[in-house]
């Protein structure tokens, strides 16, 4: 079974400071990992994903995430936060079995982390 945890319900950071939103996952095979952002009263927007290869993934709006297999983590980061980054962030995982090509169509989401960037 696949699962994902976002240990922080809320993260507060001052504008201009670096930000980190944490995510850990659990899968029985290989993980496909995703970050999405949700602004108030809107649908989710894709930020970035890890499929394979380089552990540091760069995405939209200056965000990046680092895949750490030993710690089963995929933390979202940004060097300098903007007030406009304030939103709800979701980590998601889907497992994939490389040896068979099979995997889960279901994308499992974390509960979300509310990011507030303070001017």
Partner 1 sequence: NAGVTQTPKFRVLKTGQSMTLLCAQDMNHEYMYWYRQDPGMGLRLIHYSVGEGTTAKGEVPDGYNVSRLKKQNFLLGLESAAPSQTSVYFCASSPSRGGLSDEQFFGPGTRLTVL
List residues binding partner 1 (CB under 8 A): 9, 32, 34, 36, 41-46, 49, 51, 90, 94, 96, 103-107, 109-112
Of 32 and 67, CB closest to partner 1: 32
Of 78 and 94, CB closest to partner 1: 94
Question: For the purposes of burial, counting CB atoms within 10 Å of the CB of 70, is it exposed (0-12), middle (13-18) or buried (19 or more)?
Answer: exposed
Distance CA 24, CA 48 (A): 16
Minimum distance from residue 17 beta carbon to partner 1 (Å): 26
- Residues 102, 112: contact at Cβ < 8 Å? no
Minimum distance from residue 31 beta carbon to partner 1 (Å): 11
Of 101 and 119, CB closest to partner 1: 101
């Amino acid at each position: 079974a696949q699962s994902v945890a976002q240990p922080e319900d809320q993260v507060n950071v001052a504008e201009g400071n670096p930000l980190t939103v944490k995510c850990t996952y659990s899968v029985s095979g290989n993980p496909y990992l995703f970050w999405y952002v949700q602004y108030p009263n809107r649908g989710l927007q894709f930020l970035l994903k890890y499929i394979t290869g380089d552990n540091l993934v760069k995405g939209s709006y200056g965000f990046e995430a680092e895949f750490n297999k030993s710690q089963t983590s995929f933390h979202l980061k940004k060097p300098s936060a903007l007030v406009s980054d304030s939103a709800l962030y979701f980590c998601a995982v889907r497992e994939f079995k490389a040896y068979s090509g099979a995997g889960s169509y279901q994308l499992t989401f974390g509960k979300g982390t509310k990011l507030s960037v303070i001017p």
